[in-house]
Structure 1
Amino acid sequence: MAHPRRFRFAAELHEPLPGRTWLDSARELEDLGYSTLFLPDHFDEGPGPIALTAAAAAVTTTLNVGVLVFDCDFRHPAVLARELATIDLLSEGRLEVGLGAGWKRTDYERSGIPMDRPGVRVRRLIEHTRVLKGLFAPGPFNFHGEHYTITELEGTPAPYRPGGPPIIIGGGAPRVLRFAGATADIVGVNASIHSGEIDAEAARDALADRIDQKVRWVKEGAGERFGDLELNAWLAVAQVTDDSAGFASLLAPGFGTEPESVLESPLTLIGSPTEIAERLHDRRERWGYSYHVIPGDQARVLAPVVEALSGQ
């Protein structure tokens, strides 16, 4: 009997695959069996994600495209909704919309965009999500919040999928994860990055006991709909190796823990193909993770695992 949460895999590209153009990379990921091409939304990481997701969708036929994740501080939701609905329409429903409250301090410092305290950014994310969903739905939409006011605005064009493309909300703190559980289609259960940069505390927050708590927050928000959610793991480290313990020992000081705990973290994926498959099955049983985001520089190496497990 098939597991209710089937495995699928995305690759997140910060640059094209070696020897390929951006569009050739999208075609290759499709050929390798990846479900989704994700792009980041940081000012210092590659081309504009809206234009590139549209272009990647145009040169593929089955590959989903998306941004992991849009920083809600960078774009007004009425503007973003129109662009995303257009991509969803043109791709015939192959868009996934990742949303986040913003975390990378240098994005704000270098662009001059104010970086509000976390509570304000999370409230803006919540409103932003509600506006997007409202504009993806049919009919005129009204909203009056702390950050956005929408008056009798009908979202155009209508997205390809009724109700709009699936929403991914990623985060690591209780308020965001409860909101994601209640609202999103896909929940990215991630480490919390309070400092504005990936540091030792963020690494420790990726360990198994912290993930146990994070999934509980998602369940609290989701209630009876938890079984319908897809849980997404953004892999900070992925490495195919026959010496998983040795590789983990190199990472352990950065995580502030023992190598065994590094291997157990669902935000790392280290080992031989057989070990990796076993880890993925174990994580699905323990936490519900079925949708894994592979770093782009490991997309080719992990393609056999993707081919073997996708859809199982």
Structure 2
Amino acid sequence: MVVKLGLHYWTYTTPPEPELIAPTLARTAQLAEAAGFASFTVMDHYFQMEAVAPAEEPMLEAYTTLGFVAAHTERMTLGVLVTGVMYRYPGLLAKIVTTLDVLSRGRARLGIGASWYEREQRGLGVPVVPMGERFERLEETLRICLQMWSPDNGPFEGRHYQLAETLCVPAPIGRPRPPIMIGGSGERKTLLLVARYADSCNLFSAPVDELRHKLDVLRSHCEAEGRDYDSVQKTVAMRISPVDEPEAFLAAARDYAALGVTELQVTPDRHPAEFAEQVGERIVPRLADIG
């Protein structure tokens, strides 16, 4: 299977003028699609992540941004890498993703995770709950989304969420529903939820032996859940720059492909439109020989 590329748009700082955010985003998405990128994702943050840049840097709301991108593209899958489970009530999240799917004509993907960035949560009044509860809420959210994307419009009774009816009209266009991606590599909870509910996992790039171990854990969970391991798509968020280190990037792509990875997400490390164009010219054609 051919290894695909996803563009992960994580910063709105370049160029620095706020009035240029929209045209830069549109041009980058169009260049990425023309270059052969298979997916386009954004972060679910309201403050920039302090680990990579000052929190005060520009940040846009994720699903509004993807609606804008949908209007400027035609083929790429669109998703959040990944939705923070604490940021939206599950029933509303299912409607938001459905709306994106309908307006993009079936291109939405629900990427979701347990959320973690407490500064923005406290700053904006989002409840901060213990990790164990976040994972309980994550599982209930997955169950609610799956029910809302099914013929069952009945109630949902969970520990944290109670819905009187799970009506979702119009239904998503994507069939049988928008695919679900769970982000994270936690072996006891996250990868179990992947095996139980998801169509794909998203792992951080790591040495091959470490990544193989994570996938072996996923395989074990799939066996325990009666799930076909090969039915789960494996994706990896890359740390190696495909522009600055093309040979190292391609070597890692070959190693990951041998493990069954089918999509690599890359993040712009320069002007995003230039990045998309350069990756399209230098990397995408060479990926055709990998898989």
Shared topology, TM-score over 0.5? Answer: yes
Partner of 2:56: none
Partner of 2:201: 187
Are 2:233 and 1:230 equivalent residues in the alignment? yes
What is the aligned-residue RMSD (CA, Å)? Answer: 2.2
Q: Deviation of residue 209 (structure 1)?
A: 4.0
Partner of 1:23: 26
Partner of 2:251: 278
Shift in alpha-carbon separation, 1:68–1:126, aligned structure 2, 3 A? same
Q: Distance in 1 between matches of 2:92 and 2:252?
A: 41
Q: Tell me the secondary structure at the aligned position of residue 38 of structure 1.
A: strand
Are 2:286 and 1:308 equivalent residues in the alignment? yes
Q: Spell out, residue by residue over 1:223-249, the C-alpha distance to the aligned partner (whole angstroms, 9 max, x if none).
A: 3411111111112342544xxxxxxxx
Q: Quick check: 2:45–2:62 contact (8 Å CA) kept in 1? A: no
Are 2:150 and 1:137 equivalent residues in the alignment? yes
Q: Spell out, residue by residue over 1:60-85, the C-alpha distance to the aligned partner (whole angstroms, 9 max, x if none).
A: 11122111100010100111111211
Partner of 1:88: 101
Q: Tell me the secondary structure at the aligned position of residue 82 of structure 2.
A: strand
Q: Deviation of residue 277 (structure 1)?
A: 2.4
Q: Deviation of residue 114 (structure 1)?
A: 2.8
TM-score (norm 2): 0.82
Are 2:269 and 1:292 equivalent residues in the alignment? no
Runs of 4+ in 1 over 6 A off after TM superposition: none
Q: Deviation of residue 42 (structure 1)?
A: 0.8
Q: Quick check: 1:43–1:107 contact (8 Å CA) kept in 2? A: yes
Shift in alpha-carbon separation, 1:209–1:102, aligned structure 2, 3 A? same
Partner of 2:220: 220
Question: Which residue, 100, 110, 115 being the options, matches 1:102?
Answer: 115
TM-score (norm 1): 0.77
Q: Tell me the secondary structure at the aligned position of residue 164 of structure 2.
A: strand
Q: Quick check: 1:26–1:56 contact (8 Å CA) kept in 2? A: yes
Q: Deviation of residue 208 (structure 1)?
A: 4.1
Shift in alpha-carbon separation, 1:29–1:272, aligned structure 2, 3 A? closer
In the alignment, structure 1 segments of 5+ residues that lack a partner are 192-205, 242-270
In the alignment, structure 2 segments of 5+ residues that lack a partner are 49-58, 270-274
Are 2:15 and 1:12 equivalent residues in the alignment? no
Q: Deviation of residue 101 (structure 1)?
A: 0.3
Q: Spell out, residue by residue over 1:44-103, the C-alpha distance to the aligned partner (whole angstroms, 9 max, x if none).
A: 142111111111111211122111100010100111111211111121111111000012
Are 2:58 and 1:55 equivalent residues in the alignment? no
